Structures are given as C-alpha cells and as structure tokens.
C-alpha cells in the first residue's frame, strides 16, 4: 500500500492510500477558496452520570444531502472541485471540515458557570472522513476483498497516528449508512473520531471485563466467543480467525458482532492473515444484511478498541454492526424505556435474528 500526504486549500490534511504503484505521483492541488476551519467544540461532564457530552454548534452548517453531481466526496472533475482534488482514488482520508473535535480548539479546562460542579474543557481531538472508493454508487458490501483489506490497513494506520496526538484517549472508526441512520452524504464513506476521553460504553465494558477476570481468571469476550461456537444458533458467518454472531442479549432488530479469535487490543495488533480473513467474513455479513429485507440495510458499524493509555489487557477488539430497521419498511424507535432508562426491549430474539440472517445469505 502506498501512502501520500497532501493538504487542502484550508490547510486540512488529506491522505491517499493506493493499493498499487502509481504511474504519476499524486500532486493535484485544491483550487477552492476555503475559509479556515473554525471549530468551537467543548466537552462537559454530566455530574449525575459522570459521562462526557460534546457540544459542537458549528456543525449546524455542514453539508446536507447534496445532489449526486455535487457530492463533495467524489473525485474532482472539471468545473466541480470537491474535497478530493485528484481525479480518482482508491481509499482517501481527510480531516473533517465540520469536526466534532479538532486540534486547534481554544480554551482551558474549567467548570460551567465557574461553579465547580460541571467540568468543562475544549473539545480537542480530531475527526477524519474515510472514503472507501471513488465510485459514488457502490456500498461497502460491494467492495472487493482486496479493497476491504486496504480499508482495514487504513483504519490501523489512522488508529496508530491518531493515538499519538496530544490529548487523545480513544480512537473510534465507524461507518453510518442510510438515511434512516441520519446519513446526509450518500457516497460510501466512514469516519474516525479521536476522542479526548474514554467513551461511556467503553468504560462500562472495561469495568465488566475487570470484574469477570477477577472472578473467573479469563476474559469475558473469550468465554462469550467459546459459548457462541458451542451453541452455534447465533453464528452468522465464520472464518479461520473471526466469528460473526448475533450477541446473546441483542438490543437492536439487527445486530452482529464480528470478533477475532485472538485477543488483541486494537486494529494495529492484527496480523496479515487476520486482516485478510476479516475482509472475507465481514463481506459475508454485509451481504446477508442487505439480503435480509431485499433492500440496502441502513446500519451503524463501529470498532471497539482499547483506550490509548490504559486497560489494554482488558480490551478485546471487535466490530459491532446494528440497524434500526425491524422490517422492510418499519423502524425501531428508541422510545421511553430505551431513551429514558436505557432498558432495551427487542421485538425479536437473537436466535431469530441470526436465523433470518443466515437464510438471507
């Protein structure tokens, strides 16, 4: 894989990842007249839960559902400059123009109203956009295994790089797909958030893993994985190094965890064979998801990785995909119980979900 680092007109970094040697170097210039990125993000800690919340009011003006011929993620064409100055690309990563977290946010740590009750700090970090292909009409599930492997290498590259930034505590690569999820740009792409704190979900999982290890001397994910292999009823796809299964306490109408058989803390620790095998297994999962309702499935898919500075021995890398679609034309709404009390009610059992996914593939 070849890597080329360039900069956009407003100074943001753009990185091209090419699968093969190029005949010509990537030297296209961003000719747009762009104002400097101005991010005013801040984070506040909820005094009742201890969870950090990001405030990013500047994102109200971000690009919203442009027509396909003006897509900012497609390659630049004559008279139609985009976020990608080159005429074509394999995989490209660039700093988000409307970031939730940014490295140049000003301010110091303090408290709301100066009262000492609610911690407040600048939302320093980094948000990147990852375009999986230059083809506007494709989806991740339609990529080749070679391209998915390239994307895995890109995720690992960015995890390593972003983890070295001052103030970053956790790196989260993810993909949002479909208008039902809230996607406003239809070009196949994902994002990477470099958070200035450890996320609430991760904190909960680490605490659970620590308690389980103290009682049993093993990692809880290892025992879950062994049980899924033994039961078989929730397994959706399986390779030499990865297993995809519906979690035994699934919250969502469609939910799949893709788990490596070996405990690793983050994407950087995967070896070449594991990265190859992930591409094969994950493509099976995505194709079964799209076959479930005979339509493209809207979903969120994200990587659960170790925090940067602690608890790597308690972390077990895995990807989780979920969808709000409970039938071809019905959505799962997070109403009173889920939104108010975080008590989930699923209209299907995990075993039924897995059976439908296997039949869809």
pLDDT tens per residue, range 286-300: 999 999 999 999 999
Q: Provide the CB-side half-sphere exposure for 292 (13 A, CA).
A: 28
Query: Taking 80 as the threshold, does the pLDDT of residue 170 lie above it?
Result: yes
Q: 30-39, 123-132, 174-183, 185-194 — which is least confidently predicted? A: 30-39
Mean pLDDT for all residues in the chain: 95
What share of the chain has pLDDT > 90, as a percent? 88
Q: Label residue 65 by pLDDT band (50, 70, 90).
A: low
Is residue 7 annotated as part of the catalytic site, yes or no?
A: no
Alpha-carbon distance values, 79 to 34, 90, 97, 174 (Å): 16, 22, 21, 32
Q: Label residue 62 by pLDDT band (50, 70, 90).
A: low
Residues in contact with 234: Cβ distance below 8 Å, sequence separation at least 6, in sequence order: 228, 245, 246, 247, 248, 350, 351, 353, 354
Contact 178, 297 (CB under 8 A): yes
Alpha-carbon distance values, 339 to 72, 284, 334, 348 (Å): 34, 32, 6, 19
Contact 57, 40 (CB under 8 A): yes
Reading the block at residue 131, the tokens are 């375009």
Q: What is the pLDDT of residue 64?
A: 54
pLDDT in tens, 201-255: 999 999 999 999 999 999 999 999 999 999 999 999 999 999 999 999 999 999 9
Tokens 């965890």 correspond to: 257
Alpha-carbon distance values, 167 to 79, 104, 164, 202, 265 (Å): 40, 12, 9, 17, 19
Number of H helices, E strands in the chain: 6, 17
Q: What is the pLDDT of residue 66?
A: 74
120 vs 111: CA distance, rounded Å = 5
Query: Taking 90 as the threshold, does the pLDDT of residue 266 lie above it?
Result: yes
User: What is the average per-residue pLDDT within 22-43?
Assistant: 90
Q: Give which of 107, 137, 121 is closest to 43, Cα–Cα.
A: 121
- The helix-helix angle for 350-360 and 272-292 (nearest 10°) equals 90
Tokens 């479909």 correspond to: 178
Tell me which of 20, 136, 186, 189 is the catalytic residue. Answer: 189
User: What is the average per-residue pLDDT within 15-27?
Assistant: 93
Q: Label residue 197 by pLDDT band (50, 70, 90).
A: very high
Reading the block at residue 338, the tokens are 């889920």
Contact 283, 256 (CB under 8 A): no
Q: Give which of 286, 296, 293 is closest to 356, Cα–Cα.
A: 293
For the whole model, what pTM was predicted?
A: 0.95
Three-class SS string for 168-218? CCEEEEEEEECHHHCCCCCCCEEEEEEECCCCHHHHHHHHHHHHHHHHHCC
In terms of residues, how long is the chain?
361
Contact 128, 174 (CB under 8 A): no
Helix (H) or strand (E) holding 45: strand 42-45
């Amino acid at each position: 894989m070849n890597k080329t680092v360039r900069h956009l007109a407003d100074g943001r970094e753009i990185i091209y990842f090419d699968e093969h040697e190029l005949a010509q170097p990537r030297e296209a210039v961003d000719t747009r007249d762009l104002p400097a990125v101005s991010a005013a993000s801040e984070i506040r800690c909820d005094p009742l839960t201890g969870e950090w919340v990001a405030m990013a009011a500047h994102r109200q003006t971000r690009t919203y559902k442009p027509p396909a011929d003006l897509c900012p993620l497609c390659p630049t064409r004559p008279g139609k400059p985009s976020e990608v100055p080159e005429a074509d690309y394999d995989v490209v990563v660039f700093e988000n123009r409307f970031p939730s977290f940014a490295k140049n946010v000003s301010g110091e740590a303090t408290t709301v109203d100066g009262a000492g009750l609610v911690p407040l700090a600048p939302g320093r970090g980094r948000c990147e956009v990852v375009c999986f292909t230059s083809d506007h009409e494709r989806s991740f599930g339609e990529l080749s295994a070679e391209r998915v492997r390239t994307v895995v290498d890109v995720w690992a590259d960015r995890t390593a790089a972003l983890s070295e930034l001052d103030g970053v505590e956790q790196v989260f690569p993810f993909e949002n797909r479909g208008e039902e999820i809230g996607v406003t740009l239809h070009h196949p792409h994902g994002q990477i958030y470099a958070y200035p704190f450890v996320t609430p979900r991760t904190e909960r999982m680490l605490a659970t893993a620590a308690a389980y290890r103290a009682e049993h001397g093993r990692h809880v994910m290892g025992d879950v994985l062994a049980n899924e292999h033994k039961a078989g009823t929730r397994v959706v796809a399986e390779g030499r190094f990865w297993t995809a299964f519906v979690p035994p306490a699934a919250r969502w109408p469609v939910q799949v965890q893709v788990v490596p058989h070996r405990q690793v803390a983050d994407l950087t620790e995967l070896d070449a064979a594991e990265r190859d095998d992930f591409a094969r297994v994950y493509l099976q999962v995505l194709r079964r998801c799209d076959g479930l309702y005979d339509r493209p499935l809207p979903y969120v898919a994200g990587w659960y990785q170790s925090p940067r500075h602690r608890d790597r021995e308690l972390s077990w890398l895995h990807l989780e995909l979920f969808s709000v679609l409970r039938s071809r034309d019905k959505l799962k709404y997070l109403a009173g119980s889920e939104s108010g009390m975080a008590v989930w009610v699923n209209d299907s059992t995990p075993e039924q979900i897995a059976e439908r996914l296997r039949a869809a593939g």
